[in-house]
Amino acid sequence: MTKTGVADYGMYVWYGDLYDYAKRLEDLKSIGYNGLERLRPISESDAIHKAGLVRKLGMDFGTCLASTVEHSIQWTSALGKDYVWIDSPATNFDTFCRHANAQAEVCARWGIRAALHNHLGSLVETQEELLEFLRRCPDCQLVLDTAHLAVAKGGDPLYIIQNHLDRIVSVHVKDWIMTDSNAAVWNEMGYFCELGGGNFPVQNEECVRELISRGYNGWIYVEHDTHLRDPLVDLKGSRDMLRKWSIA
């Protein structure tokens, strides 16, 4: 069964940080979410403590983000989760793919998978770059971000779902408000927002319905990088929109 969660980067920005992990979980549960994408422990004991809080509330999480890639991999595996984000300091595509393949090999040793999060302004931004990455890194998976791909020179997230569903471990959905399409850098072109709040064509509904029709049972995460008001208001609006699209 598909689970709905929150990738809470925008909440960190709005509040200035995360001050109480249990409260954040409780707030998100109150508006209908099943959990958060990334546990962010600072130690093994903190990972166990935070995972216990999640379980106590009847919620879940998708992966761990630690201070090192090695710890992210080990703690994600130990806590029974499935994937970690690929993390690399590479500044060119060839090196990035080499790093990604190496991480995928180590992840396989720990029984999990390494997954790319496509992102504006990164080495894997456009449709062409994403398809080339999937070709050159066959053991790597994908955290598909619909809006990041759509805004990147007209990328087509629906095509990725239809043709590479077997590579997708989770999905980020959100909308985009375009303010200046001629801006030199992506984060001056506009900003991300709640589902239904954008003015730019992102195929979120089509993508969600396609995932459901194909039997996808992974996470769908709402991610609002920018909040201009109480994040829970935006996040509730997006959760209500997902219900309209057949995700109870």
3-244 CATH: 3.20.20.150
The helix or strand, by DSSP H or E, that contains position 146, with its residue range, turns out to be: helix 146-151
**What are the pLDDT digits (tens) for 89-127?**
999 999 999 999 999 999 999 999 999 999 999 999 999
Q: Give the start-to-end residue ranges of the domains of the chain.
A: 3-244
The helix or strand, by DSSP H or E, that contains position 222, with its residue range, turns out to be: strand 219-222
DSSP string of 178-215, one letter each residue? ES-TT-SSGGGTEEEE-TT--SS---HHHHHHHHHHTT
Q: What letter would DSSP give residue 52?
A: H
The count of residues in the chain is 248
Residue 8's CB is within 10 A of a number of other CB atoms, namely: 23
- In DSSP terms, 84 is beta-bridged to 114
Q: Please list the pLDDT of the chain residue by residue as tens digits (248 residues).
A: 789 999 999 999 999 999 999 999 999 999 999 999 999 999 999 999 999 999 999 999 999 999 999 999 999 999 999 999 999 999 999 999 999 999 999 999 999 999 999 999 999 999 999 999 999 999 999 999 999 999 998 899 999 999 999 999 999 999 999 999 999 999 999 999 999 999 999 999 999 999 999 999 999 999 999 999 999 999 999 999 999 998 77
Whole-prediction pTM? 0.96
CA angle 39, 26, 10 (to 5 degrees): 55
Please tell me the distance from the alpha carbon of residue 78 to that of residue 208, in angstroms, as a whole number: 30
Residues sharing a CB contact under 8 Å with residue 159, sequence separation 6 or more, in sequence order: 127
Please tell me the distance from the alpha carbon of residue 198 to that of residue 236, in angstroms, as a whole number: 16
